Amino acid sequence: MVPNSTLIEHLNLSDWVVFFLVLLATLLSVLWGQRIKKQLPESEKVSTIELLLMGRRLTLPIFVATLVATWYGGIFGVTALTFEKGIYNLLTQGFFWYGSYLIFAFFLVKKIRSYNVITIPEMARILFGSKAERLTASLNFLNLLPIAYTISLGIFLKSLFGGSLFINTTLGVVLVTLWSLWGGFRAVVFSDIVQFFFMILAVVLIVIFSWIQIGSPLELMDKLPLTHLDWTGGESLGTLFVWGFIALSTLVDPNFYQRVLAADSEKTAKRGIIYSTIIWFIFDCCTTLGALYARVAIPDANPQDAYLQYSIQLVPNGVRGLILAGILAIILSTLDSYLFNAATCVSYDFFKLKDRFKIWHHHVALVFVSTISILFSLHFEGNVVEVWKTLGSFSAACLLFPILVAQWRPGIISERNFCWAVSFGCIGIVSWKILNKVYFFSNIDEFYIGLLLTTVPLIYSVIRKNA
């Protein structure tokens, strides 16, 4: 196989026909969703609940489809990690997260739905106060900035057509932004239904064709470097634990909260997360195997797009278009959700437009978020994993502990203590990262500094209050 070729060289007419048919199916699904919306009473069509939560009408199949599809836009980050470090990816990007999903399902769903809110910052206002709401919105915004997924889209388009990563990222995000300006959360959900099917089909087909052409997974293990079979990936326990804590940030993830709050019942949300976890496990096994097959077939490829390069050269004509559409669906289904929720965070939470919320407020915020994401993608130079680790650290280190404690013991943490602790944690993360980059004086990850500066003051205040 050719390690770094332009994918368009491998596509023929049948591939393009299949590719655009999948895109057409996605568009038709959105139109279907808008047709259903027309049957609603006029007052509900323009309500904030309809725009941001689809009127809390997510049934179990739709809930599973939109939740699963939203969670995998960084496929090139996951497969690059597997290409470089092997099954270490399945531990840090898989098993740690499954535990978080199940904790969410069994211990948080009921509490979250009892607040009857629309966003996490709204919940923070109930738990702590209005200042805490604004601070939570700021951290949510960092967590929702879809930098990793704008980069993934740029990598996809660059691999397909060639050219600059930045230009491809910009063009891709502009097109997705235009798409996202239409239809609200309902458009996101109904597009996810189609994208869910094709993203699963794509990764399964890659494993099947790899098995036929290269050999079974057992034969694959014999062809891999021994380091790729090491669960630690050669990393320290400290780094492993950072990924474990970042996985726990799921417990304060806006996309998870949105789906749970949009479900038609508590039972739907709980069962939906459990079913989604099973599907995620199957999906992770497929992407991990696919990236390991790519490591054997084209070991000199660029890790960022090795999985895509390998996949397109692996399958026959016609199937290539399906694989291409499936991988694009993985990216788009996450990117549009993150863009939508980041815009919600700006317009609905941060600027407190709840009482006079209009759809054009959300549109302006969406354009703003898209612009910021494109500009920030330059800083990370295509490194999706670094984006996750950097931005995910803020929610996991600074927001996770106080939000969870307050949900279980309302009133135990005052708004003043919450704001000071979270602010200290954020300042600690940024300061430690900058100082450590300049002076290289410690191997301690900045995540632990943020966690320490947030958690210790809160534990002290909780003990004092109990006393």
Q: Helices 359-380 and 165-180 sit at what angle, rounded to 10 degrees?
A: 160
pLDDT at 162: 79
Q: Is 2's pLDDT higher than 60? A: no
pLDDT tens for 232-268 read 877 777 778 888 888 888 888 888 999 999 999 999 9
As for how many domains the chain has, the answer is 1
**279 part of a folded domain:** yes
**107 part of a folded domain:** yes
Nearest residue to 113 via CA among 326, 322, 266: 266
pLDDT at 278: 95
CATH number at residue 241: 1.20.1730.10
The model's confidence at residue 467, banded by pLDDT at 50, 70 and 90, is low
Q: Are 60 and 271 in contact (CB under 8 A)?
A: yes
Kindly state the greatest CA–CA separation across the chain: 73
pLDDT at 6: 67
Q: Is 421's pLDDT higher than 70? A: yes
Helices (H), 145-265: 147-161, 165-180, 184-214, 217-223, 237-248, 254-262
The model's confidence at residue 270, banded by pLDDT at 50, 70 and 90, is very high
**126 part of a folded domain:** yes
pLDDT at 241: 81
**347 part of a folded domain:** yes
**466 part of a folded domain:** no
Residue with tokens 């099973």: 278
Which has more confidence, 458 or 464? 458
Dihedral of CA atoms 252, 257, 258, 259 in degrees, nearest 10, equals 130
In residues, how long is the chain? 467
pLDDT at 136: 92
**244 part of a folded domain:** yes
Domain that holds residue 162: 7-382
**404 part of a folded domain:** no
CA distance 94 to 102: 13
The model's confidence at residue 383, banded by pLDDT at 50, 70 and 90, is low
Which has more confidence, 362 or 326? 326
Average pLDDT over residues 202-229: 90
pLDDT tens for 33-53 read 888 888 888 777 777 888 888
User: Exposure of 380 by Cβ count < 10 A (0-12 exposed, 13-18 middle, 19+ buried)?
Assistant: middle
Average pLDDT over residues 150-169: 84
Q: Which two tokens stand for residue 373?
A: 């994401």
**396 part of a folded domain:** no
Average pLDDT over residues 355-362: 70
Entry pTM: 0.88
CA distance 441 to 467: 39
The model's confidence at residue 226, banded by pLDDT at 50, 70 and 90, is confident
CA distance 378 to 71: 23
Which has more confidence, 35 or 277? 277
SS3 263: strand
